[in-house]
């Protein structure tokens, strides 16, 4: 059919079964927004900042597993969105980002609100397009959704000049995507899979190392089955929290810079790392030369570029985690005996008994770890947990009782303050049945606090729990430990009245200084089902422990006992 480029965008979104678009209009994208006004097939959520639109689309995608969609205009609209695009790229989140561009005749003339969006986004997208002819638009949009959601997921950017959105051309969305240079391998090499399982059968101290790729490939069910049938202990990365339930007897905990003593020691003592969808990030490995130095490595990943990038893989397997793990399960049934690893499991459990993940209670103030635990006790599986970035993020990863994949949504690779609240809005849109909790800090919450208006207007009740220590807490912790307590520009003693801020946007605010007040506030916010801020005054100088100093070895951790001494 012959339709305008703007209409093509709408038809493509409908064909892709998109039910939610997050965005912010402007001149260059106005033709598309005019078509949005005319349709009722999907809901558009107007955020109050373009960065927030991208984070909301990220949160929606992380919670639902679907492709997130964001729409912005040219110039500052696009540059505001770059942080969100980069965040999605680092965490391998499938997204399609549609931006408006100045008309073709004005490109390169420094026109009003012109920016080289494709040039800027090249380094932080899986792929990007500048569409110069409406006849290409259907193909490009279909390719964008395909590329975003297959292989290693990621954001795809489509930049469309305003005159292209006005052009009339033939729209045919029925043609299959065929890209000669992009054909992700999902199956995994059968011979390599067999060798890997044989290596597991011979290992004395094997260890599952579960990464965010398990979540992205929706392989949590298969991985749970594999771990249980083998009897092999497992550690999770920050991005993999919830892959195994918190009460799984074989789950040690999170590993890495702020991982548990048991998890880090297990990785240091293992003789075989079974890495599933992990990329050996520096926050996980610590000093590379000391990382699992006595172990062989099985590395399964959909992205061939990730394998042996940092740690050499003795058994590299390129493929989709779900497909490969299913194949490994079939072989393991006849080749593995879970009783072989009982002494190794006992060793790991002893590590946990020696230095369990814990904190020191305080009768005079609320400890931030207690707040996270208490939310878990009250809500458990009935909540989705989003965080911003900082100490509160690590405490959430350490102490919340996650029971399922996609329950924990946070900014991993890029570490973006301001991610949490808009992401929690996207999470709520994706899962209306569960309570959406954003655990944040008094520094992070201010970076996108304008989204109170979005949440209130769209009736998306997100509860923001501020662990308020009047510091940029994580930076302050580093300054305390490594900069002789020179707290340079991290004191946030001068802050707004968060209760009044919440109320001024039409939400509800609570100020909390006791445990009893916190319980009452959280239960009231849940019962009222409103957009809320719970401002919790917590212990100011609490540190996130354990901690592996930057560049240090995993087995050389700063522990709670050391802090008390």
Contact 55, 419 (CB under 8 A): yes
Neighbour tally for 385: CB within 10 Å: 28
Contact 403, 362 (CB under 8 A): no
Beta bridge partners of 409: 386
Active site positions, annotated: 50, 112-113, 162, 474
Q: Which residues are within 8 A (CB) of 492 and not within 5 positions of it... i.e. 6 or more apart?
A: 442, 443, 470, 471, 472
Q: Of 451, 480, 445, give the one whose Cα is nearest residue 465.
A: 445
Q: Where are the beta strands (DSSP E) in 250-375?
A: 251-254, 272-276, 296-301, 315-318
Alpha carbons 324 and 276: distance in angstroms, whole number: 10
Angle among Cα 429, 433, 439 to the nearest 5 degrees reads 70
Alpha carbons 314 and 35: distance in angstroms, whole number: 54
Q: What is the 3-state secondary structure (H, E, C) of 476-490?
A: HHHHHHHCCCCCCCC
State the residue for tokens 């703007």.
6
Q: Of 55, 43, 155, give the one whose Cα is nearest residue 96.
A: 155
Contact 56, 426 (CB under 8 A): yes
Q: What is the 3-state secondary structure (H, E, C) of 349-401?
A: HHHHHHCCCCCCCCCCCECHHHHHHHHHHHHHHHEEEEECCCHHHHHHHHHCC
Alpha carbons 90 and 266: distance in angstroms, whole number: 27
């Amino acid at each position: 059919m012959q339709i305008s480029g703007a209409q093509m965008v709408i038809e493509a979104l409908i064909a892709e079964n998109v039910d939610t678009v997050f965005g912010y209009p402007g001149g260059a994208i106005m033709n598309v927004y005019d078509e949005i006004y005319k349709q009722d097939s999907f809901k558009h959520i107007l955020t109050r900042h373009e960065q927030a639109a991208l984070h909301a689309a990220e949160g929606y995608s992380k919670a639902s597993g679907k492709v997130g969609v964001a729409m912005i205009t040219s110039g500052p609209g696009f540059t505001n969105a770059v942080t969100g695009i980069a965040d999605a790229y680092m965490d391998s989140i499938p997204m399609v980002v549609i931006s408006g561009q100045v008309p073709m005749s004005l490109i390169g003339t420094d026109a009003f609100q012109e920016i080289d969006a494709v040039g800027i986004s090249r380094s932080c997208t899986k792929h990007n397009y500048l569409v110069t002819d409406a006849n290409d638009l259907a193909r490009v949009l279909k390719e964008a959704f395909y590329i975003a959601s297959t292989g290693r997921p990621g954001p795809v950017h489509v930049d469309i000049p305003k005159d292209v959105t006005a052009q009339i051309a033939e729209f045919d969305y029925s043609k299959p995507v065929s890209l000669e240079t992009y054909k992700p391998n999902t199956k995994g090499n059968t011979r390599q899979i067999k060798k890997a399982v044989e290596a597991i059968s011979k290992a004395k101290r094997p260890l599952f190392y579960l990464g965010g790729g398990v979540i992205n490939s929706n392989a949590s069910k298969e991985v749970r089955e594999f771990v249980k049938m083998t009897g092999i202990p497992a550690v999770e990365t920050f991005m993999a929290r919830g892959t195994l339930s918190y009460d799984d007897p074989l789950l040690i905990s999170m590993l890495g810079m702020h991982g548990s003593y048991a998890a880090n020691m297990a990785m240091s003592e293992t003789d075989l790392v079974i890495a599933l969808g992990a990329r050996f990030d520096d926050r996980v490995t610590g000093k590379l030369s000391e990382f699992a130095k006595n172990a062989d490595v099985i590395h399964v990943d959909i992205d061939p570029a990730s394998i042996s990038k940092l740690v050499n893989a003795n058994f590299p397997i390129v493929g989709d985690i779900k497909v490969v793990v299913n194949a490994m399960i079939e072989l393991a049934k006849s080749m593995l005996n879970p009783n072989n690893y009982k002494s190794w499991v006992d060793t790991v459990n002893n590590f946990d008994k020696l230095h369990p993940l814990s904190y020191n209670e305080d009768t005079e103030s609320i400890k931030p770890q207690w707040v996270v635990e208490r939310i878990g006790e009250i809500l458990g599986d009935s909540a989705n947990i989003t965080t911003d970035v900082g100490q509160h993020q690590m405490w959430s990863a350490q102490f919340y009782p996650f029971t399922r994949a996609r329950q924990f949504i946070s900014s991993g690779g890029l570490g973006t303050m301001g991610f949490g609240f808009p992401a929690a809005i996207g999470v709520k849109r994706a899962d209306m049945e569960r309570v959406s909790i954003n655990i944040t800090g008094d520094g992070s919450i201010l970076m996108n606090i304008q989204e109170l208006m979005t949440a209130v207007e769209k009736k998306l009740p997100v509860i923001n729990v501020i662990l308020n220590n009047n510091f940029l807490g994580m930076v302050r912790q580093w300054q305390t430990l490594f900069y002789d307590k020179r707290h340079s520009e991290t004191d946030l003693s001068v802050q707004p009245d968060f209760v009044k801020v919440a109320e001024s946007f039409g939400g509800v605010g609570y100020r909390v200084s006791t445990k009893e007040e916190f319980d009452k506030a959280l239960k009231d916010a849940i019962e009222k089902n409103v957009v809320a801020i719970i401002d919790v005054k917590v212990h100011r100088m609490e540190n996130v422990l354990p901690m592996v100093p930057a560049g240090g070895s995993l087995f050389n951790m700063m522990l709670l006992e050391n802090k008390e001494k």
